[in-house]
Amino acid sequence: MQLDYIIVGLGLAGLAFTKELDKYKKSYMVFEDNSQNSSIVAGGVYNPVILKRFTPVWNAEDQLKIALPFYKELEIQFHRKYDFPLDIYRIFKSVEEQNNWFATCDNPFLSKYMSTKLIKEKHEGVLANFGYGKLLNTGRIDTKSLLEDYRNYLSQRKLIRNESFQYNALKIKENKVEYKDVFASKIVFCEGFGLKNNPFFNKLPMQEAKGELITIYAPNLNIDFMIKAAVFVLPLGNNLYKVGATFNWKDKSQLPTEEGKNELATKLESFITVPFEIVEHIAGIRPTVKDRRPLVGKHPKHKNLAVLNGLGTRGVMIAPTVANALYNYLENGIELEREISIARFL
């Protein structure tokens, strides 16, 4: 089988890159083994403001300009809603925080996303004595449904094999690669934290962060916006809310832990006073990088091997932009910005 590309991994990175390939009618085969699930468990929030310090997220405006139409196209393609626009209400802990918020609203970029009104409305079961700051033009992508639909679509077209990619079976030739019965011009590795097992790229400085999330059933909590306080609370409908996430830099397992669950419940109880029941508990590993920027580029020696990784904590916003940049680099010779290129580590 002679193809343009082999893709290893179908999380948000692999999805965004294969979508580029579809757009330009390139042929490909995806290998996916379900060893990682960051994209499936993700909260899916897109938000251009860092809510701890009230500073802009790196390149957020440009990324959103590409990401929102990207998810809209997928909604049209699969006749299903994935993008749920939702305001985020940031609970203020003090008058000082209120003042910081309003001082930041003067920033020309942030003023598009931060309401200048102090929100004082009361919501049953939510402790917010200093009120809220409201973020605008934010939302949540249902990444789990999107990936399910995308994988089914690839299965129907026989473009995905549900098997683990064996790195030692890859044969690298001058202008092509061979893997079992598949010959391709190039291979792109999109394995998330699975990069650690990839002998061609595992020296890149990934500093992965495990995250755990719970879903709660809280019939007395009637909110239709996201709350950000000690943790995020995301309304899913039917009295269900996703709550997360933890950050753990040591534990490399995919499994949810009792410790993670207790941490989330304790943080939640610091501002939610109505009863809730935990109905789901999930975990994944975020492919974060030492300098908090993506990992994009070609292998220094084998030019037909490429990597698309390091989406960190913000894969929803970043994936479409970096997939497009990698495509243009590989197919049209358009140089990558140094900030995202793996050349910065070579």
Ligand X SMILES: Cc1cc2nc3c(=O)[nH]c(=O)nc-3n(C[C@H](O)[C@H](O)[C@H](O)COP(=O)(O)OP(=O)(O)OC[C@H]3O[C@@H](n4cnc5c(N)ncnc54)[C@H](O)[C@@H]3O)c2cc1C
Stretch that binds ligand X, among 90-98, 168-176, 184-192, 222-230 (CB under 6 A): 184-192
Contacting residue, 3, 5, 32, 227, with ligand X by CB under 6 A: 32
- 154 is an interface residue for ligand X by CB under 6 A: no
Asked if residues 201 and 346 have their Cβ atoms less than 8 Å apart, the reply is no
- 48 is an interface residue for ligand X by CB under 6 A: no
Contacting residue, 18, 38, 63, 215, with ligand X by CB under 6 A: 38
- The dihedral over CA atoms of 58, 318, 209, 44, expressed in degrees to the nearest 10, equals 110
- 294 is an interface residue for ligand X by CB under 6 A: no
Count the Cβ atoms, other than its own, within 10 Å of residue 117: 12
Q: Report, in Å, the least distance between residue 216 CB and ligand X.
A: 15
Closest to ligand X by CB, 131 or 315: 315
- 306 is an interface residue for ligand X by CB under 6 A: no
Contacting residue, 5, 6, 28, 44, with ligand X by CB under 6 A: 44
- 177 is an interface residue for ligand X by CB under 6 A: no
CA dist 222 to 19, 153, 316, Å?
Answer: 37, 36, 27
Contacting residue, 6, 29, 41, 177, with ligand X by CB under 6 A: 41
In the chain the first and final C-alpha atoms are separated, in Å, by 33
Burial 147-169 (b: 16+ CB within 10 A, else e): bebbbebbeeeebbbeeebeeee
Residue 277 forms beta bridges with which residues? 217
Stretch that binds ligand X, among 29-37, 92-100, 214-222, 259-267 (CB under 6 A): 29-37
Tokens of 199: 């002998």
Q: Report, in Å, the least distance between residue 217 CB and ligand X.
A: 19
Closest CA to 286 of 345, 224, 218, 208: 208
- 67 is an interface residue for ligand X by CB under 6 A: no
- 34 is an interface residue for ligand X by CB under 6 A: yes
What is the x/- site pattern for ligand X, positions 191-220, by CB under 6 A? xxxx----------------x-x-------
Cis omega (within 30 of 0) on the bond before 230? no
- 14 is an interface residue for ligand X by CB under 6 A: yes
Asked if residues 308 and 343 have their Cβ atoms less than 8 Å apart, the reply is no
- Of 221-250, binders to ligand X (CB under 6 A) are 244-245
